[in-house]
Amino acid sequence: MRTYGLRALAGLMLLALAGCGGKAVNSTLLRESFDSGDTYSRDFEVSPAQACEAARRALLGQGYAITRADAGSVEANKNFQPKEDVHEQLVLRVSCAARGDGHAQVFASAVQDRYALKKSPTSASVGVGALGSVSLPFGSNDDSLVRVASSTVQDAQFYRNFFARVQQFATALAPPPTEAPAR
């Protein structure tokens, strides 16, 4: 038991020393907490298939293009162009799993990708009989979108709004309660 305590103390000291280096403290992995917060998930009183259908409808209602949908998952994207040479895409992935009582637990994760317009000059080669080929630059440019950033959306309000909209559709899809037969 004492050896375990010494190892734990040594491990904590190593973590503290690593934190003094500066780079490890700023690491994204160290900021990942896996706490018990429910930013990315909610429970719904409908089946997983109904929950995913509610999520699909919520996304369609907000202008998302559905790229994949089935009874257990939905994937959709929406495009934005905040500036002339910047393009952003938001991809939302939803997974619907059964809880022990047959109701659904819904998980959502959004990724925001940012693209910038990059110009690259073009040139052409011209073959001239006895001289061989000559490369001549032309005054044109090829434009292409290049991904310059990608990050998971961590805004809790974004997910609260999404799950609230899913709840509205899930309530509409829920089967009416069955009444007990009169005796």
Give the residue extent of every domain in the chain: 34-125+134-172
Dihedral (Cα; 141, 146, 149, 154), 10-degree rounding? 120
Residue type, 44: F
The second-level CATH assignment, the architecture, of 34-125+134-172 is 2-Layer Sandwich (3.30)
> What's the first-to-final CA gap in the chain, in angstroms?
66
How buried is residue 98: exposed, middle or buried, by Cβ count under 10 Å (0-12/13-18/19+)?
middle
Q: β-pairing, 132-152 with 104-128?
A: antiparallel
| Six-digit token string for 18 | 């690593």
Helix (H) or strand (E) holding 95: strand 86-98
Q: With CA atoms as reference, report the closest residue to 96 among 158, 44, 62, 48.
A: 48
- The reported pTM is 0.69
Per-residue pLDDT of the chain (183 residues; tens, 9 = 90+): 454 454 554 554 444 545 555 454 556 666 666 766 788 999 999 999 999 999 999 999 999 999 999 999 999 999 999 888 889 999 999 999 999 898 999 999 999 999 988 877 665 555 555 656 655 555 556 677 788 899 999 999 999 999 999 999 999 988 777 665 666
As a whole number of angstroms, the distance between CA 137 and CA 161 comes to 52
